[in-house]
């Protein structure tokens, strides 16, 4: 709802920027171990190699500095003596050269493995995300906070690979620091303290700003979704027609401009403050370094340390400062990444309500009694009014039942309840005497085929569009062709340049689009392909001309002899073909019977029938 309010409301959106407590951030770090485990499981060999390479790379800086110290001391010794033996000196130089080459190799190796492992990880987590989203209930998709979670989890796909490199880089730098600090501590332990004091303000500043930036982005999630929606609506093949006809582009662009500019302004403020404080803290760090440097120079002048040691110590101090700053700064972005990770794991914690119970009974084959609605009521999430209330009737096994009612009467809702896209809010639906909730939803869905009015026009081949009815049989061309014949889609496909192989829809190159009625014939093919025990046609024939619809239903009745079926249509010529007709109004039961019985009764059905016969409906 907030989304639509924002879209059409006059008020600018409220960017809630929750201040995150230190505790929240620290607790987000608990996601790092499971995260690293996921990385490891992506490809254990690559992950192991990565760790080994980084271990070696961590030792390089201290080794280079140490060899540098030996070289300078040797040069000084040689200049102060008459000795001309240069072998030792050149061995040292060769060693340093070797270290430089190895270091470069290690860097490239690490970058390569990081990249490959990151790609693999991103792919695998996207797959996991899709798998989990597929398990969730339809009801959860209609909740806007769910969408926010999904959106944030989706955005992680790339940044998670960055987080992986960061965490591994962090470990590598910490190791490097331990090596360097060991050298420094053996001479002047208190230099380490000076280092910490110089770097700490920068760390605290960074962590503060990272937190603000996370809050900003987090608080803007609904608006960012809206921005995406506007961008898509403004320029997509699905919407282009109405955007042009209604002249909507100005309206959409204005809204986009306003929203995106608000985000830019908020972000700019934060980025500017961050840059300002960042410079102050960096200057503090430099002051710490030069303090230590002056001290070391004085010590050298006084002969307390050698020239080689001066380069080693000042070099170590400088490297340590760089590393410590990097580690501390990275720590805040790792913590920030871990916060985002929380969104990712939060999404995975969402559990569907409609799922298999351990005690699920076997699905009846064949269905003996049928489906019984017992005082069923249903209310959509966030809706105030009941879509269906106090509904009791039986859909008998093997009968063809037509649902009749005006727009919004609750017909589609009943279909959704039958196929367990939702569960009733009150009352229950029984299948052969057992509550539908007891069965495994996967079994139920396998035995039910529904073709909705707003069926999906898959931008795939015509053959696949029919095979979607039972996708396991997508290679079974004879079955696809029989289904196409039964639904009258064969004549549509015969006209396509590439027949069953022809991609239909406008989205892709060489795609051929179909008329509304032609699409419906293709979609109806799915019902035959499905060959389920209960078939439901929820007005998928509305775009067919009256004669074609009549023919489609006539065939449907013949071809599904003995099967249970539910038909929804606003055309009474079709409805009267059903064995029984259920009339509902405002989600409530009105009457039920065969066409003749209901006409004889002279109730609501008879009235609607007469109206249509006179051409008023
Ligand atoms: N996802 C939803 N969230 C909230 N309310 C909904 C949702 N879907 C439908 N409704 C409401 O539930 C009621 C019944 O809708 P339903 O789609 O079942 O009607 P219908 O009889 O199939 O109508 P039509 O003939 O127009 O297809 C309507 O008042 C509708 O506004």
Domain boundary among 316, 349, 382: 349
With a 6 A CB cut-off, is 566 part of the ligand 1 pocket? no
**356 inside domain:** no
180-184, 255-259, 471-475: least confidently modelled range: 180-184
25-29, 82-86, 404-408: least confidently modelled range: 25-29
With a 6 A CB cut-off, is 424 part of the ligand 1 pocket? no
Query: Domain tally for the chain?
Result: 2
Q: Which atom of ligand 1 is nearest to the CA of 413?
A: 18
Residue 247: the pLDDT is 79
- Kindly state whether residues 254 and 123 are assigned to the same domain: yes
| Tokens standing for residue 427 | 């009352």
Residue 216: the pLDDT is 85
- The Cα 478–Cα 489 span in angstroms is 14
Q: What is the pLDDT of residues 542-599, one digit of tens each?
A: 777 777 777 777 778 777 888 899 999 888 888 888 899 999 999 999 999 999 999 9
Query: How many angstroms separate the first and last alpha carbons of the chain?
Result: 33
Instruction: Average the pLDDT over 523-540 and give the result.
Output: 87
Q: Which atom of ligand 1 is nearest to the CA of 416?
A: 18
Q: Residue 119 sits in which domain range?
A: 27-349
Residue 22: the pLDDT is 62
**386 inside domain:** no
Ligand 1 centre from 382 Cα, in Å? Answer: 13
**388 inside domain:** no
Q: Which residues pair with 585 in a beta bridge?
A: 588
Q: What is the pLDDT of residues 591-616, one digit of tens each?
A: 999 999 999 999 899 998 888 877 65
Ligand 1 centre from 386 Cα, in Å? Answer: 10
Domain boundary among 304, 325, 349: 349
DSSP 73-94: HHHHHHHHSS----HHHHHHHH
- DSSP label of 506: S
Instruction: Average the pLDDT over 406-430 and give the result.
Output: 92
- The Cα 161–Cα 481 span in angstroms is 46
**554 inside domain:** no
Domain boundary among 322, 349, 376: 349
CATH code of residue 124? 1.20.1560.10
Residue 617: the pLDDT is 52
Higher-pLDDT residue of 19 and 182 is: 182
pLDDT band (50, 70, 90) for residue 158:
low
**606 inside domain:** no
With a 6 A CB cut-off, is 585 part of the ligand 1 pocket? no
- The Cα 109–Cα 228 span in angstroms is 38
Q: What is the pLDDT of residues 370-408, one digit of tens each?
A: 999 999 999 998 888 999 999 999 999 999 999 999 889
CA-to-CA dists, residue 476 to 176, 481, 486, angstroms? 61, 9, 16
Instruction: Find all residues with CB under 8 Å of 614, minimum gap 6, and list them.
Output: none
**591 inside domain:** no
Q: What is the pLDDT of residues 322-379, one digit of tens each?
A: 888 788 778 767 877 787 787 788 888 888 888 888 888 998 989 899 999 999 999 9
With a 6 A CB cut-off, is 323 part of the ligand 1 pocket? no
Mean pLDDT estimate for the chain? 85
Q: Answer yes or no: is pLDDT of 296 > 70.
A: yes
CA-to-CA dists, residue 610 to 205, 571, 573, 598, angstroms? 77, 12, 12, 12
Closest CA to 424 of 357, 377, 474, 485: 377
With a 6 A CB cut-off, is 141 part of the ligand 1 pocket? no
Asked whether the beta carbons of 164 and 21 are under 8 A apart, the reply is: no
Q: Which helix (H) or strand (E) holds 401?
A: strand 400-404
Higher-pLDDT residue of 466 and 135 is: 466
Mutation test residue for ligand 1: of 1, 373, 387, 540, the one with most atoms within 8 Å of CB:
387
Instruction: Average the pLDDT over 487-492 and give the result.
Output: 91
Q: Which helix (H) or strand (E) holds 373?
A: strand 370-378
Closest Cα to atom 4 of ligand 1: 380
């Amino acid at each position: 709802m907030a989304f639509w309010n924002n879209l059409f409301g006059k008020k600018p959106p409220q960017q809630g920027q929750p201040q995150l407590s230190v505790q929240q951030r620290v607790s987000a770090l608990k996601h790092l171990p499971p995260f690293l485990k996921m990385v490891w499981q992506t490809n254990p060999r690559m992950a192991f190699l990565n760790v080994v390479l980084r271990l070696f790379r961590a030792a390089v800086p201290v080794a280079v500095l140490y060899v540098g110290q030996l070289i300078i001391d040797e040069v000084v010794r040689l200049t102060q003596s008459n000795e001309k033996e240069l072998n030792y000196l050149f061995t040292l130089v060769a060693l340093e050269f070797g270290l430089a080459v190895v270091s470069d190799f290690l860097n490239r190796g690490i970058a390569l493995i990081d990249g490959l492992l990151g790609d693999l990880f991103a792919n695998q987590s996207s797959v996991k995300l899709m798998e989990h989203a597929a398990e969730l209930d339809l009801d959860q998709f209609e909740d806007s906070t769910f969408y926010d979670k999904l959106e944030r989890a989706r955005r992680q796909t790339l940044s998670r690979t960055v987080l992986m490199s960061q965490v591994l880089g962090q470990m590598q730098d910490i190791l490097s620091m331990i090596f360097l600090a060991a050298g420094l501590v053996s001479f002047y332990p208190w230099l380490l303290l000076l280092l910490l004091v110089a770097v700490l303000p920068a760390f605290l500043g960074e962590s503060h700003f990272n937190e603000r930036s996370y809050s900003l982005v987090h608080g803007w999630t609904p608006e960012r979704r809206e921005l995406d929606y506007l961008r898509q609506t403004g320029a997509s093949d699905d919407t282009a027609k109405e955007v042009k006809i209604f002249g909507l582009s100005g309206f959409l662009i204005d809204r986009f401009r306003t929203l995106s500019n608000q985000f830019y302004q908020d972000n700019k403020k934060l980025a500017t403050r961050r840059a300002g404080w960042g410079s102050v803290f960096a200057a503090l760090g430099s002051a710490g370094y030069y303090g230590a440097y002056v001290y070391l120079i004085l010590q050298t002048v006084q002969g307390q340390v050698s020239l080689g040691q001066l380069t080693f110590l000042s070099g170590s101090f400088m490297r340590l400062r760089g590393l410590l700053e990097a580690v501390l700064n990275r720590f805040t972005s790792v913590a920030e990444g871990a916060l985002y990770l929380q969104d990712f794991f939060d999404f995975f914690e969402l559990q569907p309500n409609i799922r298999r119970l351990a005690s699920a009974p076997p699905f009846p084959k064949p269905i003996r009694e049928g489906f019984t609605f017992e005082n069923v009521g249903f209310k959509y999430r966030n809706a105030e009014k009941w879509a269906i209330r106090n509904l009791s009737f039986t859909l008998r096994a093997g009968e063809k039942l037509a649902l009749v009612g005006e727009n919004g009467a609750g017909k589609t809702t009943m279909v959704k309840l039958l196929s367990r896209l939702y569960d009733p809010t009150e009352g229950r639906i029984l299948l052969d005497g057992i509550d539908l909730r007891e069965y495994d939803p996967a079994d139920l869905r396998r035995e039910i085929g529904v073709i909705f009015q707003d069926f999906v026009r898959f931008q795939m081949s015509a053959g696949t569009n029919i095979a979607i009815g039972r996708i396991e049989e997508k290679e079974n061309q004879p079955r696809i062709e029989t289904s196409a014949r039964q639904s009258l889609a064969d004549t549509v496909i015969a006209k396509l340049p590439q027949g069953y192989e022809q991609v239909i829809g406008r989205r892709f190159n060489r795609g051929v689009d179909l008329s509304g009625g032609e699409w419906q014939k293709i979609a109806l093919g799915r019902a035959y392909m499905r060959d389920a025990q209960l078939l439901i046609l929820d007005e998928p024939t509305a775009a067919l001309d009256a004669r074609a619809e009549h023919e489609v239903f006539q065939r449907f009745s013949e071809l599904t002899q003995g099967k249970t079926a539910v038909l929804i249509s606003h055309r009474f010529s079709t409805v009267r073909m059903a064995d029984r007709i259920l009339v509902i109004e405002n989600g409530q039961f009105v009457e039920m019977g065969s066409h003749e019985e209901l006409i004889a009764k002279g109730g609501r059905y008879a009235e609607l029938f007469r109206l249509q016969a006179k051409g008023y409906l």
